[in-house]
Structure 1
Amino acid sequence: MSLTPTPASAPTAPKNLGMRKNGHQWIAPKKPFRPTAGLTSYEARKKQRDTLQAMKAKEKDMKEEKEEIRQTRITKIREKRAAKEEKERYEKMAEKMHKKRVERLKRKEKRNKLINS
């Protein structure tokens, strides 16, 4: 029962192959071609495919949510601008006409908008 590490559990250093015959020491030596090394079982491929599909669905939901927030912001800005333009138009009319007549026109235009839309 010694507590010294055994040679099998010690980390192994890469084997020193010495100098290359062709002198290309900077190029890593190639490993032998193993055509079956990258093959995975059907279950593993299916699991990977399912996780990828779930991730893409989540990404799509997040993108849709982000776009929806963007569109609501844009519509708010458009409505605000339209209200501002309408207010300025009524102010211009008020300069030329009487206040009560402008109010009547406002009401009349609102009725027309409700009928037309």
Structure 2
Amino acid sequence: MSATITESAPAPAVPQGMRVSGKQWKAPKKAFRPAGGLTAYEQRAKERVAHAAMKAKEQELKDEKEADRQRRVTITKERKAAKEEKERYEKMAEKMHKKRVERLKRKEKRNKLLNS
């Protein structure tokens, strides 16, 4: 009965030792078994699934990168518009009274909110 227990247990991996060629970094080769692996169709199907997953991940990364770029572009445009508006108001303040400029600012702000 003890013989059946030892037979069903998997054999422990035999340590390989040093390779004769001295190329320890190379993976040990296995026996050539043409029918041992996947069939050509199964292999292609597996590769297609892996390729599709890789393409989806690449697309996700590209979309993320593009969204980040668009965010930076919009921030830059908003800053530029704010700067131009500030310069415009400063130019107006040189010509007219400060209180009138403030009134115009408020009026333009209301119009901007109504239009958008």
Shift of 1:78: 0.4
Superposition map of 1:32-43 within 5 A? 40-43=39-42
Aligned AA for 2:92? M
CA RMSD in angstroms, aligned pairs only = 1.5
Shift of 1:10: 6.8
User: In the alignment, which residue of structure 1 is the partner of 2:97?
Assistant: 98
TM-score normalised by L of structure 2 = 0.66
**Identical-pair percentage:** 69
1:70-100 deviation per Cα after TM superposition (whole angstroms, max 9, x unaligned): 0000010000000000000000000011101
Aligned AA for 1:59? E
1:51-79 deviation per Cα after TM superposition (whole angstroms, max 9, x unaligned): 00000000000000000000000010000
Aligned residues: 81
Give distance in 1, aligned partners of 2:20 and 2:68: 57
User: In the alignment, which residue of structure 1 is the partner of 2:60?
Assistant: 61
Give distance in 2, aligned partners of 1:45 and 1:10: 37
Give distance in 1, aligned partners of 2:20 and 2:45: 37
Give distance in 1, aligned partners of 2:106 and 2:49: 59
Shift of 1:43: 1.1
Shift of 1:41: 2.0
Aligned AA for 1:54? A
| Structure 1 residues without counterparts, runs of 5 or longer | 1-8, 12-39
Give distance in 1, aligned partners of 2:42 and 2:20: 35
Higher percent of residues as helix:
2
Q: Runs in 1 of length 4+ with deviation above 2 angstroms?
A: none
TM-score normalised by L of structure 1 = 0.66
Shift of 1:108: 0.1
